Structure 1
């Protein structure tokens, strides 16, 4: 009888020790994300240099990078080149491009002239959507505000976990009314993906305390505010005074760190500096 009691006690102790570990689940998936307004590959010296842009992106070490102000055969400022395609090849990354404008070429039988946002990813891309936001066109001054594309969403496969990553570029005008509408529409898009890990990246053209961003911070966490190192100022790149470029994450995504590079390359390759965040997302069981 004494032996049976001893065995039973040992079994219960082992079960008690094993229980919490067994219920803890798999470790989260860690990845690095970045947002970078590349200014069409034009640096602070006014020179177009796509190799320099690629080097600045590579220096972030990011697995997924959201880009803004991306040209594809747009104009002579970027030599009519397809920037995202060339960057993807040189960096060995997957790419998706979300044109805001898609215009007829200047000459027949030439590619369409396009400009918008993009996402580069070392991880496989499972899905892609080019969403509309309310915008005021810079190409048609009489058109007023209306839904226009250019809000990129990709779903990346991060070691078995699907993560929704977005690249956005909000209105630049001093009047915040368009940005207010864009934030509301952005939250509607993100709500459609509710329950999934979500990372919103972009040039918001507003500082953290600006009123138009308040509804966003009620739903998402500002990665730099959560775990940033330094001041995080991103614009203008040569001597930053404002923090207008962001990584924002949904509930359940843990921010392990965030930073804005302070290198000479980050200060010269564009008129913005990139913002980089290390995050961890729950692993799918």
Structure 2
């Protein structure tokens, strides 16, 4: 079963001036399912079933270690799905053995469209790799620029801090808004998306500033975490101006990861600043 929220149908005139896009977000738990078993075949099948044009991924391993069999999970999923990939590491560590690839963990974007440019932005983080971390700028806020049937699109993918104290998330939201505003000014008319695991529910005070420029496409959809019996909605597709949300679904996928994916069918305005 798939649960969905559907918008009113578009008019013929609206369809003539817009471009369809299916976009999704999925925290893939480093390739492991809700049962803790690493299984890329299962995860690739779950991603393929979304039939999305663009997918933002969180908790992505690239040669990280034994938990993901030392694989380039981002590249392997892209290969199996026949999609392009852009990976933005949060952590990039020296290999255990000299000469082996660096051990990396972060976020990624899979796309059916060519990636015109990619940037790994820094936002405030509290490192899980330091014994005594302090909030500091660190990479892992990925951005790709696409051209979707003539419409410029900026896709950002993020994984916000998981701790109960919202202070780091508050700083991350401020960083996110600043970066997205700057990128929007550099490419006027681009349609913007922010995808990711925000580790907070929509009413959380630290997320409130995001809703000044972005719209939560999944408002009214079911919870996404934990996947087997979700009680929290912490995974998001959010949209900026010039994007009309048609349908949003939370596929009932309880095993491929410890989160459920979110999938949105949207229309991109070809021109003008209008907000759908």
Provide the secondary structure at the position in 1 that maps to 2:85: strand
Residue in 2 that maps onto 1:148: 138
Normalised by the length of structure 1, the TM-score is 0.87
Residue 186 of structure 2 is aligned to residue 199 of structure 1 = no
Instruction: Write the deviation string for residues 57-109 of structure 1: whole angstroms up to 9, x where unpaired.
Output: 11111100000000000010000000010011100000000000000000011
Q: Structure 1: where are the runs of 5+ without partners?
A: 1-20
The whole-number CA distance in structure 1 between the counterparts of 2:117 and 2:19 is 19
Q: Structure 1 residue 160: deviation in Å?
A: 1.2
The answer to whether the 8 A contact 1:26-1:283 is kept is: no
Cα distance change on mapping 1:94 and 1:284 into 2, 3 Å: farther
Matches within 5 A, 1:177-256: 177-194=167-184, 195=188, 196-225=190-219, 231-256=221-246
Q: Structure 1 residue 283: deviation in Å?
A: 1.7
Matches within 5 A, 1:1-285: 26-194=16-184, 195=188, 196-225=190-219, 231-262=221-252, 266-283=253-270
The whole-number CA distance in structure 2 between the counterparts of 1:184 and 1:92 is 35
Cα distance change on mapping 1:281 and 1:24 into 2, 3 Å: closer
- Give the root-mean-square deviation of aligned CA atoms: 1.6
The answer to whether the 8 A contact 1:129-1:152 is kept is: yes
Provide the secondary structure at the position in 2 that maps to 1:199: strand
Q: Structure 1 residue 27: deviation in Å?
A: 2.0
Q: Structure 1 residue 24: deviation in Å?
A: 8.1
Q: Structure 1 residue 210: deviation in Å?
A: 0.5
The whole-number CA distance in structure 1 between the counterparts of 2:213 and 2:150 is 26
Provide the secondary structure at the position in 2 that maps to 1:62: coil
The whole-number CA distance in structure 1 between the counterparts of 2:84 and 2:270 is 22
Q: Structure 2: where are the runs of 5+ without partners?
A: 1-11
The answer to whether the 8 A contact 1:160-1:284 is kept is: no
Q: Structure 1 residue 25: deviation in Å?
A: 10
The whole-number CA distance in structure 2 between the counterparts of 1:71 and 1:24 is 41
The whole-number CA distance in structure 2 between the counterparts of 1:34 and 1:128 is 18
Q: Structure 1 residue 224: deviation in Å?
A: 1.1
Normalised by the length of structure 2, the TM-score is 0.90
Count of matched residue positions in the alignment of Structure 1 and Structure 2: 257
Q: Decide which structure has greater strand share.
A: 2
Q: Indicate the structure (1 or 2) with the bigger Cα radius of gyration.
A: 1
- With a CA cutoff of 8 Å and minimum separation of 6, indicate the structure with the bigger relative contact order: 2
Q: Decide which structure has greater helix share.
A: 1
Q: Structure 1 residue 284: deviation in Å?
A: 5.0
